[in-house]
Amino acid sequence: MKKMTKRLMALALCLIFAFAFTACSSDKNDKSADKDTEQTADNSQDDSGSEDTLIMATNAAFPPYEYYENNEIVGIDAEIMAAIAEKLGKTLQIEDIEFGSIVAGVQSGKYDVGAAGMTVTEDRQESVNFTDSYATGIQSIIVTEDSPITSVDDLSADGAAYKVGVQQDTTGDIYSSDDFGDERVMRYNKGADAVQALISGKVDCVIIDNEPAKAFVAANEGIKLLDTEYAVEDYAICVAKDNDELLDQINDALAELKADGTLQEIIDKYIPAEE
């Protein structure tokens, strides 16, 4: 009798374990199936989104080309790219990243285009292609109002040791490093940081594009813009080298925007003509 009871108990335990394992296995498979379905739906959404969305990489600390207003990125580049996206039948998506990461991000395909008041340079052309130019940029010099620096020549005079503030990876950084040496160039992530370094006496001048320079001078007391130009350059939009179709589409759209006056209207909106 005792042997029979033990056998029945063993059989019951086996049935319980078998039921529990089956239930757990079924639940796990169901959850796995649900997860696979969810991932498939997400991937489908990503694929459809990539066809309808134009992703623009920028650095939104460069007024009036790109900056924040009421938590939205606005400016010349933002409006030009929005007009281009509309002509291409796409929705514009703007990603705010470090300026120095834009070319690599476009090159890798993470972003469709880079538009950030970007100058066409030989080094950048090795990594990405550029559209036709849509604006001309001028590199200018900001100094304090009591600065002994009165022209570009003062920076390169014999014995000059002035510290130059720049936004890292910009042409201001590239040109001044070549002209004055790396040891005299102080690099900052944002142009505004370079300007604050000037105000606090950490650097003797800031080299940056003229339009942002004017905005920084207007917003901060005790600094001024030199009359002399440091460099003149062309701005363009960068596209991955293997994306000739998009490059051609953007160039066609830019040509249309130039022809109908939209491009100049956008620029004039942010850079009024001087009287």
pLDDT at 8: 40
- Tell whether 59 and 121 lie within a shared domain: yes
Given a cut of 70, whether residue 111 has pLDDT beyond it is yes
Tell me: do 107 and 221 sit in the same domain: no
Q: Are residues 61 and 197 in the same domain?
A: no
| 76 and 88 share one domain | yes
Q: Does 258 score more than 60 pLDDT? A: yes
Task: Clarify whether residues 145 and 213 are in a common domain.
Answer: yes
CB 184 within 8 A of CB 162: yes
92 and 222 part of one domain:
no
Give yes or no: residues 87 and 57 share one domain.
yes
Same domain, 58 and 112: yes
List, for residues 164-205, the tens digit of each pLDDT value. Answer: 999 999 999 999 999 999 999 999 999 999 999 999 999 999
Q: Do the beta carbons of residue 111 and residue 102 sit within 8 Å?
A: yes
Q: Is residue 257 part of a domain?
A: yes
103 is a domain residue: yes
Q: Is residue 96 very low, low, confident or very high in pLDDT (cuts 50, 70, 90)?
A: very high
Q: Measured between alpha carbons, how far is 173 from 218 in angstroms, rounded to an integer?
A: 23
| pLDDT on residue 51 | 81
> The domain that contains 66 carries what CATH number?
3.40.190.10
Report the amino acid identity of residue 207: I
What's the structural domain count of the chain?
2
pLDDT digits (tens, 9 = 90+) for 125-156: 999 999 999 999 899 999 999 999 999 999 99
| 22 belongs to a structural domain | no
- Please give the full DSSP string across 168-210, using - where no structure is assigned: TTSHHHHHHHHHH-GGGEEEESSHHHHHHHHHTTS-SEEEEEH
Residue 16: pLDDT band (50, 70, 90) is very low
Residue 94 lies inside a defined structural domain of this protein: yes
Do 143 and 130 belong to one domain?
no
By the 8 A CB rule, do 83 and 262 touch?
yes
- pLDDT for 47 equals 34
Mean pLDDT calculated for residue range 208-218: 94
pLDDT surpasses 50 at 270: yes
pLDDT for position 127: 97
What's the mean pLDDT when you consider all of the chain? 85
Structural domain for 149, as ranges: 138-232
What's the pLDDT tens digit per position in 34-55? 433 333 333 333 332 368 999 9
What is the spatial distance between Cα 214 and Cα 142, in angstroms, rounded to a whole number? Answer: 9
**Six token digits for residue 45:** 């959404």
Q: How far apart (Å, rounded) are the C-alpha atoms in residues 36 and 95? A: 29
Confidence (pTM): 0.73
The pLDDT score that the predictor gives to residue 65 is 95
For residue 148, say if its preceding peptide bond is cis, omega within 30 degrees of 0: no
What was the pLDDT predicted at 272?
Answer: 80
| pLDDT of 28 strictly over 50 | no
Can you read off the two tokens belonging to residue 244?
């000739």
Q: Are residues 218 and 246 in the same domain?
A: no
Average pLDDT over residues 30-36: 39
Residues 175 and 126 reside in one and the same domain? no
Residues 119 and 201 in one domain: no
Per-residue pLDDT band for 262 (boundaries 50, 70, 90) equals very high
**Which pLDDT does position 193 carry in this prediction?**
96
How far apart CA 213 and CA 140 sit, in angstroms, is 7
Torsion, Cα 158 163 167 170, to 10 degrees, reads 10
- DSSP reduced 3-state for 4: helix
pLDDT at 247: 98
Helix locations, the chain, DSSP H: 2-52, 76-87, 102-108, 122-125, 152-156, 171-180, 191-199, 210-219, 244-259, 262-270
Domain-located, residue 113? yes
